[in-house]
Structure 1
Amino acid sequence: MLKRVFVAPDPGRIRLRFAARAVLGIGLAAAVCGLTGQSLAGAVTGGLAALLALFTVTDATLRGQAVTTALLPCVGLPVLAAAAELHAHPVARDLTFLAVVGAGVYARRWGPRGHSLGVFAFMTFFVAQFLHATTAQLPALYAAVALSVLTAAAVRFGLWCYERRLHPPAVPAPPTGRGLARVTTRQAVQATAGAGFALVVGQLVSGQRWYWAVGATWWIFVNTASRGETVVRGFRRVLGTVLGIALGLLVAVPVQGAPVPTAILVAACVFLIFYSAAVSYTWMMLSVTLMAELLYGLLGVLNPGLLALRFAETGVGALGAVLAVLLVLPVTTHTTTDAWIQRALRCVHTCTAEATARLAGSGRADPTERITELEQLLGRVRLSVAPLVHPLNPMLGRKRRARRVLALLDDCAHEIRGLAAVAADPQASHDSRLAAACRRVETAVEALTYGEASPLTATAAGPPAEPALAHLHGLERALAELAEPLRARSGMPRWNRLDALV
């Protein structure tokens, strides 16, 4: 698991820069809150606001990112006011919290901006419960949120705006539909039902920390699109929490809120949250859990009993999420899985065409940003396929086919990265065979994505003289081998048959 986090491909060192910038932005936001006389509660609220501004905003363009960042306080501050006002009215508070959950998930239908605003609204309500915020604190908390979002924006769009050079691709969106066929609509109903279960049972477990259960349910639903994905994420959420609690007993409890070591450890947790998010949900949750423990240490309430309670509430939240996706408007895995695989394969062709055009001398062709998009799509494929390759899946044949598909898609990505590296060399020459090989790749992708009946075969050729041709031939072989697990003899997609378990 540790190897997966630190050895996973990081094209352009995007994850590294993402994590380092987060530490800088959140650290500066906390410093600004301190310099302006904010209380500890204000600094925690501001730090969370900066974290969300840097973590959740994923619009495809810098302008879109700036607009979404500017809208965060417009959504968060009214929710914060409602949460503080309703502390003395538990029933109204609970119903409002569930409404925020449902609206936050439903907002994902409007793409990355809706997702970002929905997460910010939920977490603003959540932090009000975490800090027991009162109406008297609202002016100071408003200022902390505004200052922190502004500081995070200054870092993201001014001090360290690496996206300006990279032109980040559009963030992959889940498959769409109409009415209850739309994934986001079904998930909004599921999340509300799961959060309702977590809220009621969580309050039976603890009248003070019940919101942990609701938070666990919420975050299990984030970035999932099927019941299989949600079940696996629930398992990983609990596993990450258990590991984080164990580490907290060794680290956070002995520190007991000492300012300097706590600040250093929180910075390390922030780095790991951002660095591991794209490759390991378990590691991300371990880091989140440890960071929460350190913050409780600052507040002076950390003890082993509190950690045991966090585990219990996380289990309640995970159970609520699993029951909701299994019983309430379930979304099957195969629909989303097939869509993500097809999009990844089409991106493979686009990357190949860009690299080949670059080798042919085109100054405008640049496969780098397409490779970043491919990595994002492959991440979505892995998430969707996770139920099939999970160690607890007893369907061994399906598990083998799913692993084969993932391995071959990884081979495609490896060959694409190698081809792009060759294309980036100004001394690389254009071989006349490149165009023909690229056309064969295009034909292979069309056969896999559009269900053509003609069989796919790799080109029988000796070792090519040009490195670019070697990568293209390797890509052809991987695509040809993908035909067997992805297609049935009739020519219809076989992938849909892998879903019976979930």
Structure 2
Amino acid sequence: MLKRVFVAPDPGRIRLRFATRAVVGIGLAVVVCGLAGLSLVGAITGGLAALLALFTVTDPTVRGQAVTTALLPAVGLPVLAAAAGLHDHPVARDLTFLAVTGAGVYARRWGPRGHSLGVFAFMMFFAAQFLHATTDRLPEHCAAVVLSVLVASAVRFGLWCYETQLPPAPVPAPPAGAGLDRVTTRQAVQATVGAGFALVVGQLVSGERWYWAVGATWWIFVNTVSRGETLVRGFRRVLGTVIGLGLGLLIAVPLHGAGAPTAALLAACVFGIFYSAAVSYTWMMLCVTLLAELLYGLLGVLSPGLLALRLAETGVGALGAVLAVLFVLPVTTHAVTDVWIQRALRCVHACTAEAAARLAGSPAADPALRIAELEHLLGRVRLSVAPLVHPLNPMSGRKRRARQVLALLDDCARETRGLVAVAADPEASHDARLTAACRRVEAAVEALTGGTDHITHTPAPPATEPALAHLHGLEQALADLSTPLRTPPGSPLVGA
């Protein structure tokens, strides 16, 4: 798990900058809340709001990110007010929480902005339960949210704005449809049913910490589409929570909320959440769990019994998500995975074309942006195929084919990155053979994405030029992909 986090490709050090900026932005937000005279609870509210503002906003342009960030308080504050107002009315509170859950998932149909606003709305209701927000403390909570979003925005768009143009956000883009044919509608129903189960059973386990179960169900549904993805994500959430609780017993409990070491560990957890989010959900959940334990330590309520309760509630939430995706309007992985593989292959071709244009002297060509997009798409492919390559999957044939596809896609990405690196060299020159090789890559991608039964591939002679060598390697990887992707209908590559 550690190897996956720290050895995974990080083009342009995007993940490193993402995580470091988060620590700066959230740290400054908490400091500003303190200087404004807010209490510890208010500072925690502000830190959470800043974390969400920096983590969930994934619009493809900086302008779009700014608009979405500005809308966060407009969506979150009414939800926070509703949660505080319903604090002493459990039935109305629970029904409202389920409505917010369903609406938050349904909002994904409007793309990254809808996704971000839906997550923020849910987390404001969740935070109200976590911090026992009541109407008398509502002004402080609202002030903390507004202040922290402003500070996070100042860091993201002023102090440290490294984005110029980003690739499409790695938020699921399910096929279009109407009614229950639309994936987001199905998921909204699933999430509401799963959260309802978690809420009822979670309250039987604990009348005070039941919201942990609802939160576990919610976060299992985030950034998943098919039931296979959701099942694997549920397993990883439980695994990350278990490991995080073990670390909490060793680290958080002995600290007893001591200020300086707790603050340092909180910063490390924030860095870990942001740095690992794109490559390891288990590792991210480990950091989230430890962060929550440290916050409970600051609030003076952390104990081994509380950690055991969190594990139980997480299990309830995971079970709710599993039951919902298995029995309520299930979405299979076959079509979803096929869409992401095709997008990744088309992005490989786009990277190749941009690199060739760059080598030909075009100043407008910028293959680096395409490489970042390719990494996002490959991440989506890995998420979709994860149920097939999971150690607990008993279907060995499908597992082998899935691993072969992932390995060959990684080969494509490696050769593409090498080609882009060569194209970035100002002394690299264009060769007529590059044009022919790029055309063969285009034909191979069209064959794979257009349903052609096979790819005609003639091994190229060894190339001494780096760009041509990478193109030949890419051609071979695409040709090899034809076999696992063109399996008989009775034994598809994906299907859960």
TM-score range, shorter chain: over 0.9
Deviations 1:417-450 (A, max 9, x none): 0000000000111111000000000000000001
Q: What does residue 340 of structure 1 align with? A: 340
Q: Residues 16-415 of structure 1: matches in 2 within 5 Å?
A: 16-164=16-164, 167-172=165-170, 173-178=172-177, 179-415=179-415
Q: Deviation digits for residues 159-218 of structure 1, max 9, x if unmatched?
A: 000002xx1112254222222111110000000000000000000000000000000000
Answering whether residue 456 of structure 2 is matched by residue 461 of structure 1, we say no
Alignment-derived partner of residue 441 in structure 2: 441
Distance of 1:231 and 1:475 partners within structure 2: 33
2:377 maps to a residue whose letter is L
Structure 1 counterpart of 2:106, one-letter code: Y
Distance of 1:217 and 1:79 partners within structure 2: 19
Alignment-mate amino acid for residue 419 of structure 2: L
> Is 2:492 aligned against 1:497?
yes
- Structure 1 residue identity aligned to 2:421: A
Shift of 1:331: 0.2
Shift of 1:495: 10
CA distance in 1 between counterparts of 2:328 and 2:28 reads: 43
Q: Please say if residues 459 and 473 of structure 1, whose CA atoms lie closer than 8 Å, have aligned partners that are also in contact.
A: no
Q: Deviations over 1:220-258 (max 9, x none)?
A: 000000000000000000000000000111110111111
Residue type of the partner of 1:498? L
- For residue 244 of structure 1, give the secondary structure of its aligned residue in structure 2: helix
> Cα RMSD (Å) of the superposition?
1.0
TM-score (norm 1): 0.97
SS in 1 for 2:382: helix
AA partner of residue 166 (structure 2): P
Matched to 1:449, the amino acid is T
SS in structure 2 at match of 1:498: coil
Deviation at 1:461, TM superposition (A): 2.2
Q: Kindly state the Cα deviation for residue 458 of structure 1 after the two structures are TM-superposed.
A: 3.4
**What is the deviation of 1:293?**
0.1
Give the distance between the partners of 1:198 and 1:206, measured in 2 at CA.
Answer: 11
Contact 2:57 2:68 in 1 (8 A): yes
1:246-276: CA deviation from partner (whole Å, max 9, x where unpaired)? 0111110111111110000000000000000
Q: Distance in 2 between matches of 1:130 and 1:397?
A: 45
Residues 334 and 496 in structure 1, CA contact (< 8 A), matched pair in contact too = no
Amino acid at match of 1:83: A
The answer on whether the counterparts of 1:340 and 1:381 sit within 8 Å (CA) in structure 2 is yes
User: Could you tell me how far apart the structure 1 residues matched to 2:180 and 2:33 are?
Assistant: 44
Q: How far is 1:452 from its partner?
A: 1.9
Deviation at 1:496, TM superposition (A): 7.6
Note the residue ranges of structure 2 that are not aligned, 5 or more in a row.
none
Aligned residues of 2:337 and 2:494 also touching (Cα < 8 A):
no
Q: Which runs of 4+ in 1 moved over 2 A?
A: none
SS at match of 2:87: helix
- Conservation of the 8 A alpha-carbon contact between 1:75 and 1:117: yes
8 Å contact from structure 2 (residues 385, 494) kept in 1: no
* Identical amino acids, percent of aligned pairs: 80
In 2, Cα distance between the equivalents of 1:149 and 1:48? 10
Give per-residue Cα distances to partners, 1:74-109, cap 9 Å, x unaligned: 010000011011011000000000000000000000
Aligned-partner Cα distance in 2 for 1:157–1:496: 49
Structure-2 separation of matches of 1:214 and 1:280? 22
Instruction: Write out per-residue CA displacement over residues 391-421 of structure 1, whole angstroms, 9 at most, x where no aligned residue.
Output: 0001001000000000000000000100000
Aligned length: 494
- Amino acid corresponding to residue 138 of structure 1 in structure 2: L
Q: Per-residue CA shift, 1:454-483, capped at 9, x if unaligned?
A: x31433222212100000000000000000
**1:301 Cα deviation from its structure 2 partner:** 0.2
Task: Say if 1:334 and 1:495, in contact at 8 Å, map to a contact too.
Answer: no
Task: State how far apart, in whole Å, the 1-side matches of 2:54 and 2:109 are.
Answer: 21
Q: 1:104 to 1:23 in 2, by over 3 A?
A: same
The residue aligned with 1:470 is 469
2:104–2:117: 8 Å Cα contact kept in structure 1?
Answer: yes
SS at match of 2:64: helix
- What TM-score comes out, normalization by structure 2 length? 0.98
CA distance in 1, matches of 2:274, 2:77: 25
Q: Is the CA contact (8 Å cut-off) linking 1:485 and 1:495 kept in structure 2?
A: no
Q: What amino acid sits opposite 2:21 in the alignment?
A: R
SS across alignment from 2:400:
helix
Change in Cα spacing, 1:201 to 1:194, as seen in structure 2 (3 Å) is same
| 2:459–2:476 contact (8 Å) kept in structure 1 | no
Q: Letter of the aligned partner of 1:234 in structure 2?
A: G
Q: Which moved more, 1:387-396 or 1:456-465?
A: 456-465
Q: Distance in 1 between matches of 2:19 and 2:111?
A: 23
Q: Helix, strand or coil: the match of 1:174?
A: coil
Distance 2:107 2:224 in 1: 14
Q: Deviations over 1:29-87 (max 9, x none)?
A: 00000000010110000000000000000001111100000000001000001101101
Report the 3-state secondary structure (helix = DSSP H, G, I; strand = E; otherwise coil) of the residue aligned with 1:163.
coil
Please tell me whether the aligned partners of residues 84 and 135 of structure 1 are also in contact (alpha carbons under 8 angstroms): yes
Gaps of 5+ in 1: none
Deviations 1:116-157 (A, max 9, x none): 000000000000000101101111111100000000000000
CA distance in 1, matches of 2:156, 2:459: 49
